[in-house]
């Protein structure tokens, strides 16, 4: 029987032992956010306070949204025109302001001069947002539309998430 003995120089031993990692791979990996569910449910605890000309009105709740057919839908969104949810928001010249818990707000006149309409919409991630959308294209595609080609990107107006209160004021 023949035995082979390998002689390893001391310098090479340092290199071999110096290759260990300080942390495991699984700790260093960051996983992307999981894909949202195919069917988005309206949040059960939804309660958006509504004020009409400073007077407390009927709140928008999950039951309110379940009871109204969305004005606009696609596989990822459901959107209700604010006048569909709150009849007092329908007259021309009505000002609709939406507020979040921190006090940030957006304000829209119904209808806007460019034809946009204020809506409450539910995204596929379950967020309720108040924004103004173009009724002809309420959910425009915008990913990959901008950049060097000078395309407009997302054409929806400013929006507010986590809405807690809507104030409607009529023109005098």
Predicted confidence pLDDT, tens digits, the chain (172 residues): 555 555 555 555 555 555 555 555 555 566 777 766 667 788 888 999 999 999 999 999 999 999 999 999 887 788 999 999 999 988 888 999 999 999 999 998 877 777 888 999 888 778 889 998 888 888 877 655 555 555 555 555 688 988 999 999 997 7
User: Please, which contacts does 83-90 make with residues 24 or more away whose CB atoms are closer than 8 Å?
Assistant: 83/110, 85/60, 85/120, 86/50, 86/52, 86/57, 86/58, 86/60, 86/166, 86/168, 88/52, 88/57, 88/168, 88/170, 89/118, 89/168
Q: What distance lies between CA 53 and its chain's CA centroid?
A: 28
Q: Is 160 a domain residue?
A: yes
What is the side-by-side order of every strand in the sheet holding 160-161? 72-74, 77-81, 117-122, 128-133, 160-161
Q: Is residue 148 part of a domain?
A: no
pLDDT of residue 88: 92
In a domain, 123, yes or no: yes
Q: Looking at the domain assignment, is residue 93 inside a domain?
A: yes
Among residues 67, 47, 44, the alpha carbon closest in space to that of 58 is found at 47
Number of domains, the chain: 1
Residue 144, domain member (yes or no): no
Residue 22 lies in a domain: no
What pLDDT is stored for residue 107 in this prediction?
92
164 in a structural domain = yes
Residue 124 belongs to domain spanning: 71-139+154-172
pLDDT for position 19 = 52
| Closest by CA position to 47, among listed 67, 69, 68, 62 | 62
Per-residue pLDDT at 66 = 93
């Amino acid at each position: 029987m023949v035995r082979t003995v390998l002689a390893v120089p001391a310098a090479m031993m340092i290199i071999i032992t110096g290759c260990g990692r300080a942390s495991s791979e699984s700790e260093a990996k960051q996983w992307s956010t999981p894909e949202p569910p195919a069917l988005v449910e309206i949040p059960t605890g939804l309660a958006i306070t509504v004020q009409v000309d400073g007077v407390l009105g009927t709140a928008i709740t999950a039951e309110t949204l379940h009871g109204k057919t969305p004005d606009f839908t696609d596989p990822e969104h459901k959107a209700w025109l604010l006048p569909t949810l709150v009849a007092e928001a329908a007259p021309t010249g009505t000002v609709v302001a939406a507020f979040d818990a921190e006090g940030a707000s957006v304000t829209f006149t119904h209808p806007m001069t460019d034809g946009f309409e204020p809506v409450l919409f539910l995204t596929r991630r379950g967020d309720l947002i108040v924004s103004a959308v173009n009724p002809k294209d309420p959910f425009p595609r915008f990913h990959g539309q901008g950049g060097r080609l000078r395309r407009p990107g997302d054409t929806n107006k400013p929006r507010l998430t986590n809405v807690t209160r809507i104030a409607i004021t009529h023109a005098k």
